[in-house]
Amino acid sequence: MPEDSHPGVYVEETGGARTIEGVPTGTAGFVGRARRGPLDPTPVTSVAEFEATFGGLTDPAMSCLPWAVRGFFDNGGRKAWIARVTGDGRAALGALEGIEDIALVCAPDAVGKGALGRLGDDLLAHCERRRDRFAVVQFAQRDADPRVARASGFAAAYWPWLRVADPRAPGATRLVPPGGHVLGVLARTDVAKVPRGAKVRGVLGVVLDAAPAQRDALTARGINVLRAEGGSVRVWGGRTTSQDQEWKYVNVRRLLIFLEASIDRGLQWVVFEPNDQPTWSAVRRTVTNFLFGVWKDGALVGTTPDEAFFVRCDRTTTTQDDIDNGRLVCVVGVAPLKPAEFVIFRIGAATCR
């Protein structure tokens, strides 16, 4: 503390309150083939920037990446990292590891068997290992009865393919997988909300329009249907491919990814502090303030903060063994919103006596 040796105003820097900033939730990572361009992951913020760097549209049979990127930006996406594939795609996917702001990932050409088909499994493993990314997966164009090959709480599957205009030839159309368009929908949708009913922009229709019974069957398998309705195409589902009831909904997983990543990055200062009660108290305050804001934004269930979340960081969570081994343990519980997929009501009618 400075010594006050004469009358006057003294300013002492004591440090401000710690805060947690929410991580990005709409930045996408694409892994796919392109005409040209760098092999290192490269960010783009528009279709024009992508085409200037990686080349224009191609036949979807050769590469769906340019169409997916166009669909992403048409639907509200603002930033995408492009990892160009030259082999089986694993090197390109691995190159995305070091990009911290990616929240959504897709491999537009991973829609069938073969090397790029196996890339879909690698994509899921990538998200499950990192725990801070969510994948969108697709099926082959002619797959009229799709089934999820590998269930995951870090991925959502969408069907069928979309019909889009080909800007290179007036009146011409192309069939493209839905992944890029859906990533754009997710990028513009708050992580706490289900994208169910969201309009898919920049499309003319769907390749197949499922009947109600088929939609129900697909939903039960964890497959989200894209539906033509009222002159537009909409996302008709908000489920992950997991059968675990806790992780069944896209918004629940995306919200938890956002919370975990934000808190983890926002507490990095702890590594420089002593593992003691003052630090635990500071952690509790920091995390509580962050979750209070999330609750105020309507992302958590509960009429009071105590109903919506809890934060524990004290002797009950950090034992002496933890302290001796350099671990500080904070336990957080939240109550995320879950969608009302089915609104059930009863109708009573009076009968003649």
In this structure, is residue 64 part of a structural domain?
yes
Residue 339 banded pLDDT, cuts 50, 70, 90 = confident
The one-character DSSP state at 198 is P
Q: Could you give the CA distance from residue 97 to residue 92 in angstroms, rounded to a whole number? A: 9
Domain end marker among 217, 250, 283:
250
Domain that holds residue 202: 28-250
H/E stretch holding 217: helix 212-220
Which of 241, 231, 294 minimizes the C-alpha distance to 124? 241
- Assess whether 193 and 76 both reside in one domain: yes
The string of pLDDT tens digits covering residues 297-313 is 999 999 999 999 999 99
In this structure, is residue 21 part of a structural domain?
no
Tokens of 15: 């440090």
In this structure, is residue 258 part of a structural domain?
no
Q: Could you give the CA distance from residue 237 to residue 216 in angstroms, rounded to a whole number? A: 10
Domain end marker among 223, 250, 277:
250
Q: Is 1's pLDDT higher than 80?
A: no
User: Helices 65-74 and 47-54: crossing angle, nearest 10°?
Assistant: 160
In this structure, is residue 137 part of a structural domain?
yes
C-alpha dihedral sign at 236, 239, 240, 241: negative
In this structure, is residue 183 part of a structural domain?
yes
First-to-last C-alpha distance (Å) of the chain? 90
pLDDT (0 to 100) of residue 195: 87
Look at the chain and report how many structural domains it folds into: 2
Angle ∠(280,285,291) on CA atoms, nearest 5: 125
pLDDT (0 to 100) of residue 343: 47
- How many CA within 13 A on the CB side of residue 118? 6
- Assess whether 81 and 135 both reside in one domain: yes
Which CATH number belongs to the domain containing residue 187 in this structure?
3.40.50.11780
Q: Could you give the CA distance from residue 207 to residue 198 in angstroms, rounded to a whole number? A: 18
- Assess whether 280 and 328 both reside in one domain: yes
Angle ∠(53,56,60) on CA atoms, nearest 5: 130
Which of 292, 289, 285 minimizes the C-alpha distance to 270? 285
Beta bridge partners of 226: 235
- Assess whether 132 and 239 both reside in one domain: yes
- Assess whether 167 and 296 both reside in one domain: no
Tell me what the mean pLDDT of segment 159-165 comes to.
97
- Assess whether 334 and 239 both reside in one domain: no
In this structure, is residue 14 part of a structural domain?
no
- Assess whether 305 and 192 both reside in one domain: no
- Assess whether 34 and 160 both reside in one domain: yes
Beta bridge partners of 174: 164
In this structure, is residue 330 part of a structural domain?
yes
- Assess whether 244 and 285 both reside in one domain: no
Tell me what the mean pLDDT of segment 32-46 comes to.
96
The string of pLDDT tens digits covering residues 218-270 is 999 999 999 998 889 999 989 999 999 999 999 999 999 999 999 999 999 99
Share of the chain above pLDDT 70, in %: 90
In this structure, is residue 43 part of a structural domain?
yes
Provide the 10 A C-beta neighbour count for residue 320: 8
The string of pLDDT tens digits covering residues 173-205 is 999 999 999 999 999 999 999 888 999 999 999
- Assess whether 279 and 210 both reside in one domain: no
- Assess whether 322 and 275 both reside in one domain: yes
Domain end marker among 250, 275, 309:
250
- Assess whether 272 and 232 both reside in one domain: no
